[in-house]
């Protein structure tokens, strides 16, 4: 269980991470979790603040709901102070131009909701990392409380792809002069930041060797296995179309965020802690990234953690053509084309056991790159 006793204040450099979708304590691991952990391991005093959480979250479904009774108080996990800010309501994108126009006013109000705990943490920070999307609405508040703090915008996803409210982009552009630099998980995001082209840097995919030092036993009983991990833009159609063509392959779907009826050779698992997913990837014959189409998804070719993990563990991958990029060990298919999906699966199975090892930087290196990109000349993104 997390420790409710907060860590004593230290003289170490203080980093506050703001996320509107992630909480450090959730089982799944996104890159912001890895960066947070790496910074703490590297000697920084780290806080992880999770926002955009309210009664609305119960209706919409939210991976943080299990923390409902631990919200609005500090807990310490892995040496990181964690805080889930629960409010009565939170604004969101409605998908309707009229409703979104009304909701924009609520975003401005929401950004100023009082919270002494969070304000005190911001005041004592040396660095604040704002993860993509809604947390950008706090930029003005941050600078008002702490004029000397270094603000970093960590773009893990494109705003259009995750369906962010237009107010978020507008506020990000309005307050761009207050942001020290922008770290993008993919250079393909750069056209979204032409208004900050003098401060753009790339943030790589990393590996924590400790995560993979003891992978554990093979969890499979079937001879041939394919695995999918994660819920982002999950497309169940892939399994409904492809699995019947491969009766000798068992398809394992971990943490897809929904239930669906699949063929008998498809097993659906609830979300697992990150390390528990590793043996499922390590001993799989094929890794699947079944993304569905969304605006601007091409950046996933660079930023997808699951595709990076498949490659690190030398597992051939199947994904839509837009996520292949330049990687020859990913086998792409055309969305909504069953024959193309089946063909990609055939090619991936044929490549099982042939993927060469590849070196990746550590998450400690990536975290340092996020805070201090000037130390990494090759990370600079140049655009016209």
The predicted structure's pLDDT at residue 259:
86
Cβ atoms within 10 Å, residue 233: 17
Given CATH 3.40.50.11010, say whether it is the number of domain 14-202: yes
Q: Which residues of 22-37 are buried (b: 16+ CB within 10 A; e: fewer)?
A: bbbbbebbbbbbbbbb
Helices vs strands, H then E, count in the chain:
13, 14
Q: Do domains 14-202 and 210-351 have the same CATH topology?
A: yes
What pTM, to 2 d.p., does this model score? Answer: 0.93
The CATH architecture annotation of domain 210-351 reads 3-Layer(aba) Sandwich (3.40)
Domain positions in the chain: 14-202, 210-351
The predicted structure's pLDDT at residue 9:
60
Q: Establish whether 157 is a catalytic residue.
A: yes
Contact 160, 36 (CB under 8 A): no
If you search the block for the tokens 């947070």, which residue do you land on?
A: 36
The predicted structure's pLDDT at residue 75:
98
Instruction: Give the C-alpha separation, 69 to 343, whole Å.
Output: 48
Query: For 183-314, where are the alpha helices, taking DSSP H only?
Result: 209-212, 237-242, 274-282, 300-303, 305-312
The predicted structure's pLDDT at residue 224:
99
In Å, what is the CA distance from 228 to each residue of 9, 45, 170?
41, 34, 35
What sign for the dihedral angle of Cα 347, 352, 356, 362?
A: positive
The predicted structure's pLDDT at residue 61:
84
Kind plus residue range of the DSSP H or E element containing 63: none
Which residue in the list 62, 157, 192, 368 is annotated as catalytic? 157
Per the structure block, which two tokens stand in for 222?
């079937």
The predicted structure's pLDDT at residue 1:
44
Q: What is the pLDDT along the chain (384 residues), one digit of tens a residue?
A: 455 555 556 789 999 999 999 999 999 899 999 999 999 999 999 999 999 999 999 988 899 999 999 999 999 999 999 999 999 999 999 989 999 999 999 999 999 999 999 999 999 999 999 999 899 999 999 999 999 999 999 999 999 999 999 999 999 999 999 999 999 999 999 999 999 999 999 999 999 999 998 999 999 999 999 999 999 999 999 999 999 999 999 999 999 988 898 999 999 999 999 999 999 999 999 999 999 999 999 999 999 999 999 999 999 999 999 999 999 999 999 999 999 999 999 999 999 999 999 999 999 999 999 999 999 999 999 997
The predicted structure's pLDDT at residue 7:
54
The predicted structure's pLDDT at residue 16:
99
């Amino acid at each position: 269980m997390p420790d409710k006793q907060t860590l004593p204040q230290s003289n170490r450099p203080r980093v506050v991470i703001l996320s509107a979708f992630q909480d450090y304590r959730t089982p799944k691991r996104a890159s912001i979790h890895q960066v947070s952990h790496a910074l703490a391991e590297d000697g920084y005093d780290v806080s992880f603040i999770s926002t955009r959480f309210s009664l609305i979250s119960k209706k919409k479904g939210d991976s943080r709901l299990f923390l409902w009774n631990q919200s609005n108080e500090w807990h310490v996990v892995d040496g990181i102070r964690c805080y889930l800010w629960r409010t009565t309501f939170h604004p969101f994108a409605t998908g309707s131009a009229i409703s979104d126009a009304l909701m924009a006013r609520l975003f401005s109000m929401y950004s100023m909701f009082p919270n002494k705990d969070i304000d005190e943490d911001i005041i004592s920070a040396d660095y604040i990392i704002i993860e993509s999307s809604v947390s950008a609405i706090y930029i003005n508040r941050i600078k008002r409380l702490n004029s000397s703090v270094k603000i970093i915008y960590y773009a893990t996803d494109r705003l259009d792809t995750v369906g962010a409210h237009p107010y978020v982009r507008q506020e990000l552009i309005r307050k761009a002069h207050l942001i020290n630099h922008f770290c993008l998980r993919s250079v393909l995001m750069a056209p979204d930041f032409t208004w900050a082209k003098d401060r753009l840097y790339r943030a790589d995919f990393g590996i924590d060797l400790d995560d993979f030092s003891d992978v554990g036993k093979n969890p499979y009983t079937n001879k041939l296995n394919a695995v999918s991990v994660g819920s982002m833009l999950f497309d169940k159609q892939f399994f409904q179309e492809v699995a019947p063509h491969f009766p000798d392959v068992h398809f394992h779907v971990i943490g897809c965020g929904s239930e669906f009826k699949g063929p008998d050779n498809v097993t659906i698992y609830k979300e697992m802690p990150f390390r528990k997913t590793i043996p499922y990837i390590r001993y799989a014959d094929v890794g699947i990234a079944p993304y569905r189409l969304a605006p601007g998804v091409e950046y996933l070719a660079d930023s997808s953690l699951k595709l990076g993990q498949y490659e690190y563990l030398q597992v051939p991958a199947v994904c839509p053509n837009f996520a292949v990029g330049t990687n020859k060990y990913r086998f792409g298919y055309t969305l909504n084309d069953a024959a193309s999906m089946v063909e990609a699966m055939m090619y991936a199975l044929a490549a099982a056991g042939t993927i060469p090892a590849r070196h990746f930087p550590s998450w400690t290196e990536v975290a340092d790159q996020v805070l201090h990109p000037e130390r990494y000349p090759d990370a600079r993104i140049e655009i016209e």
